[in-house]
Structure formats: C-alpha cells, structure tokens
Amino acid sequence: MSRRAASLGRRLRTLRRPFRRTRFDVVWAPECCAAVPGRLHDARRAPRILEFLRREGLLPGRRVHLAPEPPLADLLRVHTLEYLESLERPGGTEKAFGERLDDAIERPLVVAQRRMAGGTTLAARLALDRRATAVHLGGGLHHARADHGAGFCLFHDVGIAIRRLRHDGFTGRVLVLDLDLHDGDGTRALFAADASVHTFSIHNRDWEEPAGVETTSIALGSGVDDELYLARLRAELPPLLERFAPQLVFFLAGVDVADDDALGDWRVSAAGIVERDRFVHAELARRRLPVARLLAGGYGDHAWRHTARSLSALALGGTALEPPSTADLVVEHFRHIAGTLPAPQLAGDDDALLSDEDVAELFGGLGATGAARRRFLGFYTPAGIELALERLGYLGELERLGFERPTVEFDLTGPADTLRIFGAPDRRELLLELRARRDRATIPGFELLWLEWLLLQNPRLAFTADRPALPGQQHPGLGMLRETLAALVLVCDRLKLDGIGVTASHFHPAAQSVDTLCFVDPRDAPVFRGLVRSVAALPALQGSLAVEGGGLVDAATGQAFRWRPLAMVYPISPALRAWFERDNYRRIASAAEPRFVAARPPA
C-alpha cells in the first residue's frame, strides 16, 4: 500500500468513528527518551504511543503539552539535599540501577527522570483544572525514596506532584492507584503517616511489610491471569472510592502485568489490560474525578502497544484500536522521513552535498576516480548514508546510548559490500557491521537485499548472570535491531528490491525474527516451530545450546537433531508477499511440527 493510500485509509477510519469521544490531554518531553543500556526499557515507548494516537486522529495538537523542568524547591519537598547532590556526581545512580553507568549514559537518565517529575505535576494540574483525565507518557517512579533511588527510580514524581499541589493550596484527598506489576513501596513509605493520601497497590510480591494509616496493599504472587486480576480489582476499588472519596487520582497504568512483558511474571492478556483500564476509568468518570494517568512499568519492544491500545479505547469510549507491530511502526516512521531525502543527495550526485575534495577525504585520498566511484550496493555514497542515518534518527539513538561521535565506514573491496559504524572516529568500538549484496538467485524472479553478515553489539556492556552470552556473541546486543531492519527496508524501497534475505547461523536470532521473516524452504517452518516449542521453558542460553549442540532428538524417530543455518526472507514487494502466500507454500509450512525431546546424556 502506498503512503498516500494509507493516509487516505486513516482519514476514512477517522470519519467512521463516533463523534462522541473522551478528550484527554497528553504530557511528554523528548528529553525523557533516555536509554538504559543492558536493560529492557524501550526508550522510544512514549513517542511511539504519541505517534499512534496522532496517526489515528485521536489527539489534537492543542492537547499535547511539554513536560516542564521542575524547580529544585519541588524536588526538596520529597528528597533530601544530600541525595539530590549525590545524583550530580558520577555513579550517583548506581543504587537505583544496580550497576555503575558511564557518565554519558547516566546524565541523560537523571535529566529524563527529573523532567518526568515536572510532567506528572503538570498532568495533575491539568486534571484538576479540567476535572478530566490527563495522561503523562512517563512517570510512575514509585520505588524512589527520600534519600535514595531504587528499582530504576530516581525521583518520586507522584510525591513531588502531591506536595507541590499542597504548597499551592490544594487540600483534597488523593488516591494513588498503582496497578504496576511491582509493589508501590516508595509511595506507601512516603505517605505512611498521611491520612489524606491513600496508596493502593495490586502487585506480584511485597517489597517490604505494608504499613500506613491509609493503604491497600495486595500481593497476588506469580502467574496471575485476567480472571483473578480483574476480580480482585473489581472487588476492592469501588468500596474504597465510596469510603475514601478522593478528590484527585494518580493512576499508575503499568503494563508490565502483560503476558508478553520482557520482565514480568504474570499472564494478563492484551484484552485484560484494556478491560482493567476501561473499568478504572469508568469508575472514576462516574464520580467525575480528576485523573492523572501515568505510564509506569512496561518492558520490551511491545510494551507501548498495550498503552496505545488502552488509550484508543479511552478516546473512543470503549472500542480499542489494534496498534501496528513495532516493526511496522518503525518502518512507516522511517518511510515518512525518507520521503524528504532526495535521491541525488544519497547517491552523492548533488554538487552542494559532495565535492571532489569531499570524495578524496572520505576515501582516504583516492580522488574522484577508481575505487572512489564505487558505491554501497551500487548507489549510496558514505556521505549519503551518513545523511540518511542522521535524518532517520539512527545516529541520534547511538548518541543516546553514550556514543557521542558515531563514525560510518565503507569497505567495498569484497564480493559483498560492507558498512560499519563505530562509536567514535578512533574506530575502537565497533557497533554495527553489515555485509550485503544484491541477490537474484535465491528466489527466481525476485531481487533481494541479501545480508551475509549483520552484527549489532555494545562493547561497553558486560554479560550478566541474567543475560549471558549466547552463541556467536562477543558483546551484548545494541538493542537496535528493529531500527536497523527498518532502515534496510528503506534501502529496498529506494533500489526497488523485493525483500531482505538472511541466513540465520544461530538459533536465537532466528527465534527472535520468526514472526517477521519467512523461511525460503517451507519445510523448515514446522521443524523450527517444533524446536521453539521444545525449548520454550528453558532460558535463552540453555535453549540455544540444546538446539545447536545436539541436545535434542526427534521423539518419533529417535534421530538426533543437527542444526544447520536457515535461509529466511522479509518480503517487502506485493509480488514477493504473494509468493509466500501461495497455497502450496502455506500447505507445507503449516504442516504438523515434529516433537523434539532432550537427548539422553552421554555415559
């Protein structure tokens, strides 16, 4: 589908929707998109939600507000001066994050969470002024204490907001409704002696013994599903609202309760999260209560989709829209930006962009002839690639990871073209290495961008017991696979290629990509599903070793499974997508998968 057709489709969908909608304000700030290396936080979570709401016509521009920087006096209403001073020194966040962070990473995190404190205060003011809901796409830092950070939380944004409102004259009762997976222990401790603030938390495990004059603390354990979660919420919340009669509510709408959360241990479905939030907002709206809704917890690439889905239901009065996949959203965003990049600039044919002197410098003095005329995949110059990566925000993401001067390099001397990105001009820290060629042989009648090698790594991170090295890894991953594949989709768009092909040398990257890529040989599909099922209960390292190390046998034949690299393709053109939708391909690919069991250990 073309971009024009997609835009027209969105407009038609908007016109068909009910005219009566729930309008809410949204608070956020780009400065809050700080990455936490080695963790499973999605630094793009808030802007992805915002982009979805705007794209679907659910959020007018006048309803979007930038989170302000809170003054020091607001922070001091909750935190000690000694603690705030410690955050200005290198290593000040170590207790909260469990490791010593590089200063280039640590400073943006402190700035981001401080800005979130200002965002929560603004959301509360908007909610009170309009007696409605205001959504802050950040905040919910409920583990922070007066004199230290904890659980990735540096500033207690809700506490700062409440005490600033008190300072400004608000005396009403406040309910902090915390439905994050984790215990709201910091909030409970902060207001333990304050009868005007009720702290309500349903979570998996207590972080400390619950205590307070106005508190509800419910620990449900692991493995909680929709039925138990919603039943307990429905039983507890309405009586509390009647008895306590709050005049302002902070709703921590964490989505780390989801069954696909990267860190959580609950099994709440996407529909269950929508129903949870629908119930909460209905109960609060019935009483015409001002609500400051906060982002709170949610880990992994898909966390944003749960919030986006829930907010669409809030806006449309109950009907939830299904957000696109993260990969599709990234590709669409990149395609929009790519539309502003003229082909002559990417190919180096624009005299204003690339002079002969530039060519000589970029290629180490080779001048404008010979090897200097060679281009990546026959089209891109180094300057053109760097321009595209800058416009797409790719280099900006690397800078947010602490690499302040990413450097792009080409090697066009082999049978395949190689692109490398280093963390700095000294080329000591290799972040990305891509070896690619144009391929017409794998699937006759189609031309693919074939990736012979793709490496994404962060040399500044170390493996941990929770995240050990997987086969083929020398350093932990960079966390930018989706952005990389989205950029490669744009390459295919520009060069009129049908798709992206890759040979999966190891099990774990193939398992991560199986929902997006198709097997060239349909017979590989049922076998791979059987492998995934056989190691689903194992940690990633043990599962990979079992598959690649001869640790599995076919339960029906008793033969040991031998791992081999698998050819996989991401189809882009309509013609190639149709090729993978053929009846014969689908019949073979959907065949029953074999069952694999652990091999008997050798004597």
pLDDT score at 32: 84
111-125, 373-387, 414-428: least confidently modelled range = 373-387
pLDDT score at 602: 41
Greater pLDDT, 105 or 527: 527
234 and 171 share one domain: yes
Q: Is the pLDDT of residue 603 over 60?
A: no
199 and 341 share one domain: no
Average pLDDT, the chain: 87
pLDDT score at 330: 78
Q: Is the pLDDT of residue 373 over 70?
A: no
| Burial of residue 237, with CB atoms counted within 10 A of its CB: 0-12 exposed, 13-18 middle, 19 or more buried | buried
241 and 266 share one domain: yes
The answer to whether the beta carbons of residues 154 and 113 sit under 8 Å apart is yes
**CATH code assigned at 28:** 3.40.800.20
175 and 242 share one domain: yes
143 φ/ψ angles, rounded to the nearest 5 degrees: -95, -15
474 and 569 share one domain: yes
Q: What is the 3-state secondary structure (H, E, C) of 368-399?
A: CCHHHHCCECCCECHHHHHHHHHHCCHHHHHH
Q: Which ranges of 170-325 would DSSP assign to H, the alpha helix? A: 185-190, 226-244, 270-286, 303-315
144-158, 324-338, 406-420: least confidently modelled range = 324-338
pLDDT score at 346: 58
Residue 556 inside a domain? The answer is no
* C-alpha to C-alpha distance for 396 and 392, rounded to whole angstroms: 8
Domain finish residue from 272, 297, 323: 323
Torsion of CA 367, 373, 376, 382, to 10 degrees: 30
| Residue 423 Cα to chain centre, angstroms | 22
3-class SS of residue 269: coil
* Digit-coded pLDDT (tens) for 457-507: 999 888 877 678 878 889 988 888 888 888 899 899 989 999 999 998 899
Q: How many domains does the chain have?
A: 2
Q: Is the pLDDT of residue 13 over 80?
A: no
* C-alpha to C-alpha distance for 596 and 553, rounded to whole angstroms: 5
Neighbours of 160 (CB within 10 A): 27
| Tokens 């991170």 -> residue | 461
Average pLDDT over residues 86-109: 88
109 and 211 share one domain: yes
3-class SS of residue 218: strand
Residue 482 inside a domain? The answer is yes
Q: Is the pLDDT of residue 142 over 60?
A: yes
Domain finish residue from 323, 351, 383: 323
With cut-offs at 50, 70 and 90, classify the pLDDT of residue 37.
low
Q: Is the pLDDT of residue 81 over 50?
A: yes
Domain finish residue from 323, 357, 373: 323
358 and 407 share one domain: yes
Average pLDDT over residues 522-547: 90
pLDDT score at 340: 64
303 and 390 share one domain: no
* C-alpha to C-alpha distance for 217 and 203, rounded to whole angstroms: 8
Beta bridge partners of 66: 28
282 and 419 share one domain: no
With cut-offs at 50, 70 and 90, classify the pLDDT of residue 341.
low
Residue 544 inside a domain? The answer is no
Structural domain span for residue 520: 334-537+565-597
63-67, 359-363, 514-518: least confidently modelled range = 359-363
Beta bridge partners of 49: none
